[in-house]
Amino acid sequence: RCKSTSTDEQPETRRNLLDNASNLLTNLLSGGSLGSMPVAEGAVSDLFGRPLFFSLYDWFLEHGPVYKLAFGPKAFVVVSDPIVAKHILRENAFSYDKGVLADILEPIMGKGLIPADLNTWKQRRRVIAPGFHALYLEAMVKVFVDCSERTILKFEKLLEGKGLGGEKPVELDLEAEFSSLALDIIGLGVFNYDFGSVTKESPIIKAVYGTLFEAEHRSTFYIPYWKVPLARWLVPRQLKFQNDLKTINDCLDGLIENAKETRLETDVEKLQQRDYLNLKDASLLRFLVDMRGADVDDRQLRDDLMTMLIAGHETTAAVLTWAVFLLAQHPLKMEKAQAEIDAVLGHERTTFDSLKKLEYLRLIVVETLRLYPQPPLLIRRSLRSDLLPGGYKGNKDGYAIPAGTDIFLSVYNLHRSPYFWDKPDEFEPERFLAQRKSESIEGWAGFDPLRSPGALYPNEIVSDFAFLPFGGGPRKCVGDQFALMESTVALAMLLQKFDVELKGSPESVELVTGATMHTKSGLWCKLKRRTSVH
Ligand code: HEM
């Protein structure tokens, strides 16, 4: 299905080194005009040894929820405040773009939603967001279940291979397994392509991982040497990156061509009647091609698909990884989860309806995202001067920022803020059921689970921007419900069949970050077939 066609290459990134120099200058100037904002002085050593967001947390406790971080001549504003976050993400969203993140991602995602300029973004968001409607999600639950079953079958075979009727545990790197599972799901859900990565390796799978690896390298490497002319041909890893991109792009082009060739009026009719559950191919690509006509721009479609492939793969794999990591350290919560699974599913397959009854599982997923948000920082750059609210502990008059100010909105700090969460570092899925009053915090409406009726999962609305796992405002994640349901289904199906323990101590699981938080050397676990399914 994924047939090769010739492709033109990604364009050179629009901004060149000169732009970088001018950004630096803007920052130099803006660094002096942030008025009374508290200042944290970062040392270069803070950039190495441990993830940056840990240092940002320490400085948040020391300097408050809005501070300026100066690294030599470079300055960032670090925000850990829901009122300021709401201002930047929702109330004044169009005064900001993705800044340095767009520079990094544009060579990979082109004009996809994440790095797109405002005009392209407006046009494509209007087209793509409706694709994630309720019936699509319902159809996707079947994809999540089918793919999770393949993973479970693989584990069962490994256990059988151990002999003794599968009683002996098998040792596995679950992070790697979740990564394969999430890749298979995103391929089928977004463009109806079966990577089959749970059971095999292929050049296209290698190319996807190579591209993710490079995106991560670029987001943590501070000098954009890949923009230097000829670097893409002379630096071996850059050459490999270009080849990986071409492999994926060729595959996506083939799928787009195929979707256009097989565009059936009956499918369109079915789509229009929303007869989703009877469609053979309910993917987002099918929706985009069938509903928007055959004349939709191929290049733009490819950028859209690539963006969703990258945005929806490692993020979800990370949620599953950290959920298991946390549950393995809390055997009573693991038991509670398994008791819920037994009561709701028994030995049956998960369905869209049973998902609604798996309340504790859903809370585990969101509590995991609270403790391990993916990504831990949202990045913005102000397009014009703005007045940031001072926040609950800051300057009452707020802070004037000039155009070109780079901002790190620390979701990690917000999610672990002692001002908004009781025992913020503890894994407590039940916390989302409680209401939190807010008299002491002016401008923050408090935490109220009833504020978003009908929502299956707590979100930024119920917490008035203190809980932001998918961002907020117009640039909020389009795949949030897809990802949440996918994680719940996969976790439920794993725990339905297996008992899971960490192989080593929790401390031995080192955390590293790029775009997402992941482990340094895998999440090695011992998996045993469950004997006590009630
Ligand atoms: C944007 C998180 C899964 C597609 C975002 C943003 C966050 C996020 C925080 C906002 C970024 C910002 O404001 O700078 C996550 C997490 C996921 C996940 C934690 C999994 C647990 C997915 C999936 C898809 C997806 C499965 C697609 C199928 C996108 C896209 C955007 C986005 C296209 C850009 C939206 C826009 O700018 O209009 N995601 N995401 N994400 N996400 Fe997700």
CATH number, residue 441: 1.10.630.10
Residue 166 to residue 173: CA distance in whole angstroms = 18
- Residue 501 covered by a domain: yes
- Residue 369 covered by a domain: yes
Angle formed by the axes of helices 203-220 and 100-109, nearest 10° = 160
Token digits for 57?
Answer: 């947390």
Q: What is the pLDDT of residue 35?
A: 67
| 113 Cβ below 6 A of ligand 1 | yes
Res. 533 pLDDT band, cuts 50 70 90: low
* Residues 371/427, Cβ–Cβ less than 8 Å: yes
- Residue 279 covered by a domain: yes
In eight-state DSSP terms, residue 91 is: I
Angstrom CA distances, 166 to 160, 173, 345, stand at 5, 18, 22
- Residue 486 covered by a domain: yes
Res. 46 pLDDT band, cuts 50 70 90: low
The pLDDT of residue 5 is above 50:
no
* Residues 214/340, Cβ–Cβ less than 8 Å: no
Ligand 1 atom with least separation from CA of 472: 13
Token digits for 502?
Answer: 């960490």
Place of tokens 């970050």: 513
Counting Cβ atoms within 10 Å, is residue 112 exposed (0-12), middle (13-18) or buried (19+)?
Answer: buried
The pLDDT of residue 250 is above 80:
yes
- Total domains in the chain come to 1
Q: Please, what's the b/e burial string for 483-520 (b: 16 or more CB within 10 A of its CB; e: otherwise)?
A: bbbbbbbbbbbbbbbbbbebbeeeeebeeebbbbbbbe
| 336 Cβ below 6 A of ligand 1 | no
* Residues 180/198, Cβ–Cβ less than 8 Å: yes
Interval between CA 369 and ligand 1 midpoint (Å): 13
Residue 10 to residue 215: CA distance in whole angstroms = 15
Which residues are part of a known binding site?
477
Res. 56 pLDDT band, cuts 50 70 90: very high
| 338 Cβ below 6 A of ligand 1 | no
The pLDDT of residue 32 is above 70:
no
Residue bearing the CA closest to ligand 1, atom 29: 477
Ligand 1 atom with least separation from CA of 315: 20
| 471 Cβ below 6 A of ligand 1 | yes
Reference 84, options 445, 409, 415; nearest CA is 409
- Residue 6 covered by a domain: no
Mean pLDDT over 102-109 rounds to: 88
| 481 Cβ below 6 A of ligand 1 | no
Q: Distance between alpha carbon 143 and the CA centroid of its chain, in Å?
A: 19
* Residues 254/1, Cβ–Cβ less than 8 Å: yes
- Residue 380 covered by a domain: yes
Examine the predicted complex and report whether its ipTM is higher than 0.90: yes
**DSSP per residue over 374-442, as a string?**
SSSEEEEEESS-EEE---TTS-TT-EEE-TT-EEEEEHHHHHT-TTTSSSTTS--GGGGGS-B--TTST
Q: What is the pLDDT of residue 10?
A: 39
Q: Nearest 5°: CA angle at 144, between 141 and 145?
A: 90
Residue 365 to residue 375: CA distance in whole angstroms = 15
Q: What is the pLDDT of residue 30?
A: 43
Ligand 1 atom with least separation from CA of 304: 33
The pLDDT of residue 240 is above 50:
yes
- Give residue-wise pLDDT tens across range 351-400: 999 999 999 999 999 999 999 999 999 999 999 999 998 877 777 788 99
- Give residue-wise pLDDT tens across range 282-299: 999 999 998 766 567 899
Token digits for 275?
Answer: 């007869």
Token digits for 268?
Answer: 């369109």
Residue 394 to residue 392: CA distance in whole angstroms = 6
Mean pLDDT over 253-278 rounds to: 81
Angstrom CA distances, 121 to 110, 145, 294, 356, stand at 12, 32, 21, 32
Place of tokens 């803006």: 30
- Give residue-wise pLDDT tens across range 424-461: 999 999 999 988 776 678 888 889 988 888 899 999 99
Which residues are part of a known binding site for heme?
477
Q: Is 464 helix (H, G, I), strand (E, B) or coil?
A: coil
- Give residue-wise pLDDT tens across range 110-161: 999 999 999 999 999 999 999 999 999 999 999 999 999 999 999 999 998 8
- Residue 3 covered by a domain: no
Q: What is the pLDDT of residue 25?
A: 43
Beta strands 498-502 and 74-79, pairing class: unpaired
The total number of residues shown for the chain amounts to 534
Which of 477, 486, 489 has most ligand 1 atoms within 8 Å of its beta carbon, as the pocket-test mutant?
477
* Residues 283/191, Cβ–Cβ less than 8 Å: yes
Angle formed by the axes of helices 298-328 and 100-109, nearest 10° = 120
Residue 456 to residue 388: CA distance in whole angstroms = 32
- Give residue-wise pLDDT tens across range 387-421: 998 877 777 788 999 999 999 999 999 999 999 99
| 311 Cβ below 6 A of ligand 1 | yes
Interval between CA 198 and ligand 1 midpoint (Å): 23
Residue bearing the CA closest to ligand 1, atom 34: 114
The pLDDT of residue 220 is above 70:
no
| 479 Cβ below 6 A of ligand 1 | yes
Interval between CA 477 and ligand 1 midpoint (Å): 4
Report for 94-98, 205-209, 272-276: range of highest mean pLDDT = 94-98
Q: What is the pLDDT of residue 521?
A: 94
Residue 250 to residue 513: CA distance in whole angstroms = 29
Mean pLDDT over 485-506 rounds to: 97
Residue 447 to residue 464: CA distance in whole angstroms = 7
* Residues 515/219, Cβ–Cβ less than 8 Å: yes
The pLDDT of residue 61 is above 90:
yes
Reference 133, options 11, 280, 291; nearest CA is 291
Res. 31 pLDDT band, cuts 50 70 90: very low
Interval between CA 480 and ligand 1 midpoint (Å): 7
Report the predicted TM-score, pTM, of the whole model to 2 decimal places: 0.91
In terms of residue numbers, what domain contains 238? 17-529
In eight-state DSSP terms, residue 10 is: P
Beta strands 524-529 and 498-502, pairing class: antiparallel
Q: What is the pLDDT of residue 358?
A: 98
Higher pLDDT, 240 or 216: 240
Token digits for 198?
Answer: 């749970």
Residue 329 to residue 425: CA distance in whole angstroms = 14
Q: What is the pLDDT of residue 309?
A: 94
Reference 289, options 133, 402, 127, 446; nearest CA is 127
Counting Cβ atoms within 10 Å, is residue 451 exposed (0-12), middle (13-18) or buried (19+)?
Answer: middle
- Residue 160 covered by a domain: yes
